[in-house]
Structure 1
Amino acid sequence: MTATGIYAPEILVDGRFVTDHIVLIEKDVVINILPKEQCPDGVPVISFDDGKLVPGFFDIQVNGGGGVLFNDDPSVAAIKAIGAAHRIFGTTMFLPTLISDDLEKIEQAIAAVDAAIDQGVPGVVGIHLEGPFLNAEKKGIHDARKFRRLDEAAIRLLSSLRKGRTLITLAPEMTDCASIAKLAATGVVIAAGHTNATYEQTLEAVKAGVSGFTHLYNAMSPFQSRAPGAVGGAFATTDTFASLIADGFHVHPASLSLAIRTKGVAKTILVTDAMPTVGSAQKEFWLGEERITATGGKCENASGVLAGSDLDMASAVRFIVNNTKYTLEDACAMASKSPASFMKVDHAVGDIKIGTKANFTLLDNNLMVSQTWIDGVIFKGQTRR
C-alpha cells in the first residue's frame, strides 16, 4: 500500500468534527477516513498533537497577493506567486481574478490560467473575470473607461478557457437576458455584481442564467422598502449563491449574519477580494492610475474608496467565528464547500470525504494556519499576520 495517514485531534467530516480519526490519502486523493486504532499496519502517519484538520479553503476572488496584481502581470509566474502567498493562509484552491480590463488583457489572462493548469501550478481551479460588463454607477474602484457591452465576440472569448472553471461577474442591466442565457449555455458560471439592477431585472437575470452575487451588498443596488434592488433579488432567490467579504470594512457583522441566515450557509461564500498586499510586506500599489494603500487591514484609494481587500481566508474564517453567531464548522463550509458547489467542482474538492482531492488546512487552537495540503503535497502555513 502506498497510502499515507494524517492524524489530527479533530477532523471536519461531513460538517462536524470527529476525534481520534485518521485521513488516509493515496497520491492526491482521500481513500479512507477511519478511527485511529483501525489504521492498517505499515501505513506511515503524519501526526499532529493539536489542531483541527479542515477542508482546504477555496477563494473564488483573488486579485493578487505576494506583491503581485494579476491585472499587471497576467502570466503563469504571477499566478504561482499569488497562489504561494495565499496558501500559507489556508487557501488551497483559487480563481485568479482579473478586474475590468481590455479584451486583449482578458485573452492574456485566460491563456495564462490555461497554461498554469497545464503546468500543474498548485491550487488553480480556473479564472474569475470581474467585468468589464459592469455599471458605471456602481463601479467602485473599477476603471469605467474599460466597461463595454456583452457581444458575440466577448461571449466567445469569455468561454474560451480550455481547462478549469470560469466565473464571470457582470451587471445584468447592462446586457440582455438572451445574451446572459447564451453565455450560461457555454458552461461558465455567472454572478451579478457592480450592478444597479432593479429587483425585477435581477430576477429575470437569474432566470436567464445568473446563479450568484459577487460581494453581496458592495457595489450593488441596496435593499429598500419600495425598491428591493439586487440585494433583495439575492435574498429572494434561494437557489443562488452570494459571496461576502468578511473583513469588518466591507460589511457590518449584523449584515453578514442577516445574509447568512437568509441565504443559508450552503449558499453563502466567503471571499477575500484580495490585493497584492496579502502575504507581502508591500502595503502600497497602483491599480491603473489609482494609488492604493493598505492601512489597518483596509485597502483604499486617496478618496477613501475601498479597493479590494488586505484580507486572507483564515482571517475571514476567524472574523465569522468571532463576530457572528456562526460556528467554525459553518465558517469552514462557507470557505470551502459552498464555493466548490457554486463552481460545480464539489465532487472533487470542498470537503474531506472519500474520493475528494487531498486539499486540507490545519488550524491551530487560535485558528491560525499551521499546514496546508494541495493535492496531497504539504506546505507550511502562516508565520505572521
Structure 2
Amino acid sequence: MTQYLVERLFDGNEWLAQVLLTIDNGRISAMTPDSQASDVTPLRGTLVAGLVDVQVNGGGGVQFNQAPSVATLAQMAQAHLACGTTSMMPTLITDQFEVMQQGADAIAAYRKQYPHGSIVGVHFEGPHLSLAKKGMHSADCIRQITRQDIDIFCRQDLGQVLLTVAPETVSPAMITELTDAGVIVSLGHSDASAEQCLAAFAAGATGTTHLFNAMSQLTGRSPGLVGAALDSEQVYCGLIVDHHHVHPLNSRLAIKVKGEQRLMLITDAMAPVGSDIDHFFYQGVKVYRQQNRLTLDNGTIAGSVLSMIEAVQNTHNDLGFALAQTLNMASKTPATFLGLEQQLGQLQPGCAANMLLLNDQLAIEQCWLHGEQQRF
C-alpha cells in the first residue's frame, strides 16, 4: 500500500484539495480528507488521471506498420508514457492482410507479457476505406471487407478493438455484425453522404476518426460525415488539436458542439513522437518531418508529431477551454468511448492508479502506471 498527500487533484468530476490518496495493488483504494494523515509522501502540483489516446500509429522512432512486433509496441508505449499517455490504442493503418495478422498477434503477445502495460487494445484504421479520401493510406491495400478480416477484428485476445471504416464500403448490416461482436466501429477516410453516415450510426457505429480530416465536409446542401457526426448526439469525435490538421476555429466549434462528453483529443501520432528522427517509411513511401508537421512529397499531411500532453496544452492554452473540461476530453471521454470508464480516465476508488502530476505550466513532473512511478 502507498499513500500520497495530494495538494490539488482533479478526479474526473471536481477539483479537490489536500487529499489523502491510497493505492493498493495498482489501484486507487481510497481518497479521503487529510485530517488524519501523517508520515505520507506529499505531492505538490496538480494530480490528474493518465491520458488515453485511441489513435497511435508510432512513437519513439518506430512505426507499428513498419515492424508489427512486441518490441515495437514496447518502444511506442514507453515513448508515449513519457508524454502522459498511460492508456493507448496502437493503430495499424491500411496494409496487407499478413501485416494485419502480424499486428494482431503482436498486440495479443504484448498484452499477455505486460498485463499492466499501457496498451489496452488495437485500432485498425482501414483497409476498408474510400479511395477518394485515402489521405496517406495505400491505394493498393484499400479493399472490401472479407470473412478473414472479420475473424481478426473479432479475436478475443486483443483487448478493445476499434475499427475505422468508410460507410460507403461497409454496409450497415456488417457494422451491426461487428458491433454485436464487441468491435467499436468508427467512421473515417470517407466520402459518404450524411444519409449513409447516419445509417451507419444507426447500425451501431459510435465514433468518427480525426474529425474534419479525410472525410466529406459540411457544406450548405451536403452535410457530409462532418455534419452527420456533429449532429449525432451519441457519436464520439476524435480531434487532432495540433493547429495543422484542423483550424483552431473549427476545433473550438467542434468542442462547443460535441461537448466534453463526446469530443476526444487524439494524436494520430507517428514514429517521430518522442524521438529525434526526421523521417520514416510507410510501405516504402517516405514521410518527412518539418518542425512539428509530417507530410508526404506531395504535401499531404501524414499523421502528426503531437503528444497527448501537448494536445491538452493546446486545447487549454490556445483554444481557451477550462482545464477540467480539457482533461476529460483527454482521459475520461476516450475511456468511456472504449467502454473502460470504470477502470481508466479518472481518479476514483477502484480505478487503475494511472496518474500524472502536472506543474502550473501543465508539464509532466511525475507519472504513474498501475501505481508504479515511472522513470524516464
Task: Find the residue that maps to 2:304 and give its secondary structure.
Answer: coil
Task: Find the residue that maps to 1:200 and give its secondary structure.
Answer: helix
1:94 positional shift:
0.4
1:161 positional shift:
4.0
Unaligned segments of structure 2, at least 5 residues: none
**Could you tell me how far apart the structure 1 residues matched to 2:109 and 2:103 are?**
10
Match of 2:194 among 187, 199, 217: 199
Residues 284-303 of structure 1 show CA distances to partners (whole Å, capped at 9, x for unaligned) of 11122321111221111121
1:283 positional shift:
1.7
Residues 33-85 of structure 1 show CA distances to partners (whole Å, capped at 9, x for unaligned) of 1122233x5xx633233x21100001110000000100011111111000000
**Could you tell me how far apart the structure 2 residues matched to 1:119 and 1:139 are?**
34
Task: Find the residue that maps to 1:174 and give its secondary structure.
Answer: coil
Residues 156-192 of structure 1 show CA distances to partners (whole Å, capped at 9, x for unaligned) of 2211141410000010111211111111111010000
Residues 8-51 of structure 1 show CA distances to partners (whole Å, capped at 9, x for unaligned) of 32110233221111211101110111122233x5xx633233x2
Native 8 Å contact 1:150 1:179 kept in 2: no
Partner of 1:38: 36
Q: How does 1:275-294 map to 2 (within 5 A)?
A: 275-294=270-289
Partner of 1:174: 169
Q: Which amino acid aligns with 1:136?
A: L
Match of 1:226 among 197, 211, 221: 221
**Could you tell me how far apart the structure 2 residues matched to 1:130 and 1:29 are?**
31
Task: Find the residue that maps to 1:329 and give its secondary structure.
Answer: helix
Q: How does 1:60-99 map to 2 (within 5 A)?
A: 60-99=54-93
**Could you tell me how far apart the structure 1 residues matched to 2:16 and 2:256 are?**
25
Native 8 Å contact 2:122 2:158 kept in 1: no
**Could you tell me how far apart the structure 2 residues matched to 1:354 and 1:373 are?**
16
Q: How does 1:97-136 map to 2 (within 5 A)?
A: 97-120=91-114, 122-136=117-131
**Could you tell me how far apart the structure 1 residues matched to 2:200 and 2:209 are?**
14
Q: Which amino acid aligns with 2:138?
A: D
Residues 297-332 of structure 1 show CA distances to partners (whole Å, capped at 9, x for unaligned) of 111112111100001000000000112231111111
Q: How does 1:13-32 map to 2 (within 5 A)?
A: 13-32=11-30
**Could you tell me how far apart the structure 2 residues matched to 1:123 and 1:321 are?**
25
Residues 118-143 of structure 1 show CA distances to partners (whole Å, capped at 9, x for unaligned) of 11162010000000000010011111
Q: How does 1:317-332 map to 2 (within 5 A)?
A: 317-332=312-327
Unaligned segments of structure 1, at least 5 residues: none
1:271 positional shift:
0.6
**Could you tell me how far apart the structure 2 residues matched to 1:81 and 1:312 are?**
15
**Could you tell me how far apart the structure 2 residues matched to 1:183 and 1:163 are?**
15
Native 8 Å contact 2:12 2:332 kept in 1: no
Partner of 1:261: 256
**Could you tell me how far apart the structure 1 residues matched to 2:299 and 2:186 are?**
26
Native 8 Å contact 1:66 1:279 kept in 2: yes
1:357 positional shift:
0.5
**Could you tell me how far apart the structure 2 residues matched to 1:46 and 1:303 are?**
53
Native 8 Å contact 1:88 1:371 kept in 2: no
Tell me if 1:140 matches 2:135: yes
Q: Which amino acid aligns with 1:21?
A: V
Task: Find the residue that maps to 1:275 and give its secondary structure.
Answer: coil
Task: Find the residue that maps to 2:314 and give its secondary structure.
Answer: helix
Native 8 Å contact 1:130 1:169 kept in 2: yes
Q: How does 1:292-307 map to 2 (within 5 A)?
A: 292-307=287-302
Match of 1:152 among 147, 161, 170: 147
Identity %: 36
**Could you tell me how far apart the structure 2 residues matched to 1:276 and 1:123 are?**
17
1:261 positional shift:
1.1
**Could you tell me how far apart the structure 1 residues matched to 2:89 and 2:5 are?**
29
**Could you tell me how far apart the structure 2 residues matched to 1:181 and 1:296 are?**
42
* Count of matched residue pairs: 375
Partner of 1:9: 7
**Could you tell me how far apart the structure 1 residues matched to 2:5 and 2:301 are?**
41
Native 8 Å contact 2:31 2:349 kept in 1: yes
Change (3 A) 1:29 1:352: same
Task: Find the residue that maps to 1:217 and give its secondary structure.
Answer: coil
Task: Find the residue that maps to 1:233 and give its secondary structure.
Answer: helix
Native 8 Å contact 1:90 1:371 kept in 2: no
**Could you tell me how far apart the structure 2 residues matched to 1:106 and 1:46 are?**
45
**Could you tell me how far apart the structure 1 residues matched to 2:72 and 2:35 are?**
44
Match of 2:246 among 243, 246, 251: 251
